[in-house]
Structure 1
């Protein structure tokens, strides 16, 4: 005998109402301010898969980094092929902020300082001129400077940005991932952004 107060229909209706309420609460009361990063941001994990280095590099001399801006993934291969790493990244917000092609690491810094570029200050005049190393620094804990002026692969303290189009041109990694990549790379490591 079933209790009329707790029928199957009542249970299903209550579950549906609960699920609907939770989804509304997640979007309206979320602590993640996705709209501040971009209005139609999506994380892209569907293309997050391992790759072979050969279609992208002639050699692994000094190691190689491939950044795929479409899948938002960074691939690293060591020179002796004993290490392969795959990390999720943030990528530039728009195509005009994105630089593609071959470059290399020219400088490596633990505890980087940050200064906005002239174009960043033009777009955001309220930004500070300088932020020193620490938790407020947009470059996170480590930075790999590329041969292209103003472009870096760096960490971020704002973990909401990873997996998204959220940067002003750089490639961002979780701080623990950039620390690991920093330890694997050297000045001269080749980099390709596609």
Structure 2
């Protein structure tokens, strides 16, 4: 009989100890060397409209492609902030001044000629209201051909580089912006 305070070491206890060390060691090492993760909300940078436009006019939209946020000011100066998706790459990104020239509820979608070149398997057209429609429930058409601020059915895209040039918002957010944005609203993408 062994005394009560003596610990019995067997091959099985050694194997369990080695196995648990092997399992948890990578996690411990990763925790010690990894940098803190910045979440999308903490990376939002807000801008003053006066730094980009001369007057509020009928309203303003400023979309920051670096921090993936859209700021919308109404004519009376009320500002709201929305997370966005932005173009996949710099060559798909157009920056500068434009304006809202048209608004559409449940817009249909057709790929641009360059999209068809890159993705010939894509359909020629998707009707509005179709769950596969990448424009979501609303679209603001800009004075730049093929560029839109629109909703998305795929909410995983928000906060990421995921579009072919447009600025995407959650459907509930684009519906709010759509209702508050008249044609002629000034827009700037930075």
Q: TM-score, normalised by structure 1?
A: 0.78
Unaligned runs of 5+ in 1: 5-9, 21-41
Cα pair distance change 1:96/1:108, threshold 3 Å: same
Q: Where do 1:53-64 residues align within 5 Å?
A: 53-64=49-60
The counterpart of 1:120, out of the listed 84, 109, 115, is 115
Number of the residue aligned with 1:85: 80
- Give the Cα separation in 2 of the matches to 1:130 and 1:147: 21
Cα pair distance change 1:176/1:97, threshold 3 Å: same
Q: Where do 1:37-186 residues align within 5 Å?
A: 44-81=40-77, 83-134=78-129, 135-186=131-182
The Cα of 1:45 is off from its aligned counterpart by 3.4
Moved beyond 4 Å, runs of 4+? none
CA contact (8 A) 1:105 1:191 kept: yes
Q: TM-score, normalised by structure 2?
A: 0.79
Cα pair distance change 1:43/1:149, threshold 3 Å: farther
Number of the residue aligned with 1:30: none
The Cα of 1:62 is off from its aligned counterpart by 1.1
Q: Tell which structure's C-alpha radius of gyration is larger.
A: 2
- After superposition, the C-alpha distances for 1:58-92 in whole angstroms (9 at most, x for unaligned) are 100010000000000000111111x2110000000
Query: How large is the RMSD of aligned CA atoms in angstroms?
Result: 2.7
Unaligned runs of 5+ in 2: 1-6, 8-16, 28-37
Q: How many residues align?
A: 165
The Cα of 1:124 is off from its aligned counterpart by 0.2
